[in-house]
Amino acid sequence: MWEADVIGSIWRFFTSVRLALVLILMIASAVLAGTLLDQAPGSVIANSSAYDAWLERAESKYGVWTNVFDALQLFNVFHTLWFRVLIGLLTANIIACSINRWKGIWITAFRTRTRMGDAFFQHARFNASMTAQMPAAAAAERARRALSRAHYRVVSQSEEGAIALYADRYRLSRFGTYLSHLSLVLILAGTVIGGVWGFHDDEFIVAEGATREVGRGTGLSVELVEFTDEYDVQGPPKDFRSEIVIYKDGTEVKRGTVRVNSPMGYDGTRFFQSFFGQTAVMDVKDESGEVIFHDSVPLAWLTRDGERPIGSFLLPDKNLAVYVVGPRSGETDPMVPAGEMRVEMYTQSSGTLTTAENLTQGQTKELAGLSVTFVRESRFTGLQVAKDPGVKLIWIAAGLMVLGLAMMFYFPPKRVWAICKERPDGTAEVRIATTAERDFSQAKDFKNLHERVRLALGIAEEDKSRAEGGKNV
């Protein structure tokens, strides 16, 4: 039956905690690499020439290592196949371990052996033996009450000349491990759902007075009524807010203010304040005086030297691409003086510069045979648009994770067994014992429990006890 052997060894592979440890440490290393090294943005990865340029810049930072890191795909850790394989293996590992342990945990929680043999009471790590001056039945009843008062759930079992007690506490906490481990699986499921059925648009730019469609099948469009930024006297920003109107298929459905930490949502799509900037309202007329362009051009990007804000629009009928460059902020700009806009016109097909001129506000100039006017400055808001149907699942999973960890760490399951045996002289021999790790706080727990039972049985001095711990300080 070689098939059974293969399946058996695959099963053993996936059910080992050692695999979990190895995977966790590997993922931690990968994530660390993703933090330490610059990560190429998604838009750069998608475009091979942009990525080459990105690598060239990276080379100045990482030198000869650039090629090594690139070969290992360390500039894009979180989206690589091997990272996903690691996460997939960990998920399989978690699920396999969960299935594997279920039966054992179920039995320990609900079907525990309530009667232990004499050897257990003598050799358990924590055990104690007492003599009560009363019949076994009375001693067992007192021990039972003492354990109940310590919030233990007690099961008793009578037999010839002896009564066995089993007591436990927080037995359901054994399932905490399921909550926190499966929550990881749910979180991954949530990210997959979000990735497949959700979308993010980080650069949804709307100029004041303009309306823009969200697209992606939402049927929504957004109008920016006004953008406001406020600053403290010392300079740091205090508030950024956009007054927006949301339209669904052309009908106004919601109106309100979006600010940082206070997004606005409609029908699962949410709008977040992200950035803002200036726009230039431009007006272009052709030779006959007909308006062929009139719009607010957001200067939402930076020129190649990274110094000036730049925006663009196309005049396809004229085969022209028009770039509008704003003045450098801070210092005086010799190329674009404050209050002016530089207009550069390129032939769209060849990309060659046709003409470039500076315009002051309200000024009209003849450029490439067209009359171009810089009407006025205005503002745009940069919103982030997000729809993520997986996010609810993620919050549920996060709640389960915390609940599971709290159960495991703060309400750990406890068990104790006791036996009360009738002696010929009418007294009772009472033994209590528990399975536990060598652990200071468990030793303390056992000592407390022993103390409670001892007092309940009316025994003055402590009998022979083998409780360890407590003395190793």
Partner 1 sequence: MFDVSQYTFVAAFAALALALLMYAVNAIGVRGAARLSLADGGTWSSSSLGSALDSVGRYATILTVNAFIFLTASLSFRAIEAGHGPFSNMYEFSLAFAWSALALYLYFEVQYGMRTLSLLVLPVSVGMMTYATTVPSDIQPLVPALQHNLLLTIHVAVAIIAYGAFATAFGAAVLFLFQRRDSISWLPQSGLLDEIGHKAVMVGFPAMALTIILGAVWADIAWGRYWSWDPKETASLVTWLIYGGYLHARVIRGWRGTRSAGLLILGFGATLFTYYGNLFFGGLHGYG
Q: Which is nearer to partner 1, 98 or 312 (CB)?
A: 98
Q: Which is nearer to partner 1, 7 or 28 (CB)?
A: 28
Q: Which is nearer to partner 1, 321 or 401 (CB)?
A: 401
Measured in degrees and rounded to the nearest 5, phi and psi for residue 158 equal -95, 145
Supply the minimum distance, in Å, between the C-beta of residue 332 and partner 1.
28
Amino acid 128 reads A
Q: Which is nearer to partner 1, 161 or 470 (CB)?
A: 470
No. of H helices and E strands in the chain? 11, 20
Q: Which is nearer to partner 1, 32 or 53 (CB)?
A: 32
| Per-residue DSSP letter, 15 | T
Supply the minimum distance, in Å, between the C-beta of residue 194 and partner 1.
9
Supply the minimum distance, in Å, between the C-beta of residue 300 and partner 1.
17
Q: Which is nearer to partner 1, 209 or 263 (CB)?
A: 263
Q: Which is nearer to partner 1, 272 or 380 (CB)?
A: 272
Copy the structure tokens of residue 25: 């440490």
Task: Give CB contacts under 8 A, 24+ apart, made by 143-149.
Answer: 143/418, 143/420, 143/430, 143/432, 143/453, 143/456, 143/457, 145/456, 146/452, 146/453, 146/455, 146/456, 147/416, 147/418, 147/449, 147/452, 147/453, 149/452
Cα angle, residue 426 at apex, residues 424 and 429 outer, rounded to 5°? 80
Supply the minimum distance, in Å, between the C-beta of residue 237 and partner 1.
6
Taking the C-alpha atoms of residue 89 and residue 433, their distance in angstroms, rounded to an integer, is 41
Contact footprint for partner 1 (CB under 8 A): 17-18, 20-21, 24-25, 27-28, 31-32, 34-35, 39, 78, 191, 200, 232, 234, 236-240, 259-263, 270, 272-274, 384-386, 388, 391, 394-395, 398, 401-402, 405-406, 409, 438-441, 472-473
Supply the minimum distance, in Å, between the C-beta of residue 87 and partner 1.
12
Cross-strand pairs, 78? none
Amino acid 291 reads V
Q: Are strands 428-434 and 199-207 parallel, antiparallel or unpaired?
A: unpaired
Cross-strand pairs, 264? 271
Sequence-ordered strand ranges (E) for 306-388? 309-315, 320-325, 340-347, 353-360, 364-367, 370-387
Alpha carbon distances (Å) from 229 to 186, 236, 276, 343, 416: 40, 11, 9, 27, 65
Supply the minimum distance, in Å, between the C-beta of residue 313 and partner 1.
27
Length reported for the chain: 473
Q: Which is nearer to partner 1, 6 or 99 (CB)?
A: 99
Amino acid 302 reads L
Q: Which is nearer to partner 1, 4 or 81 (CB)?
A: 81
Q: Which is nearer to partner 1, 45 or 315 (CB)?
A: 45
Q: Which is nearer to partner 1, 119 or 473 (CB)?
A: 473
40 and 51 in contact (C-beta within 8 Å)? yes
Taking the C-alpha atoms of residue 423 and residue 54, their distance in angstroms, rounded to an integer, is 86
Supply the minimum distance, in Å, between the C-beta of residue 98 and partner 1.
14
Residues near 155 by beta carbon (within 8 Å), at least 6 away in sequence:
114, 165, 166, 167
Supply the minimum distance, in Å, between the C-beta of residue 273 and partner 1.
8
Supply the minimum distance, in Å, between the C-beta of residue 409 and partner 1.
4
Supply the minimum distance, in Å, between the C-beta of residue 301 and partner 1.
20
Supply the minimum distance, in Å, between the C-beta of residue 206 and partner 1.
15
Supply the minimum distance, in Å, between the C-beta of residue 35 and partner 1.
4
Q: Which is nearer to partner 1, 401 or 467 (CB)?
A: 401
* Pick from 437, 445, 283, 244: nearest CA to 370: 283
Measured in degrees and rounded to the nearest 5, phi and psi for residue 111 equal -125, 40
Considering just the CA atoms, what is the radius of gyration of the chain in Å?
36
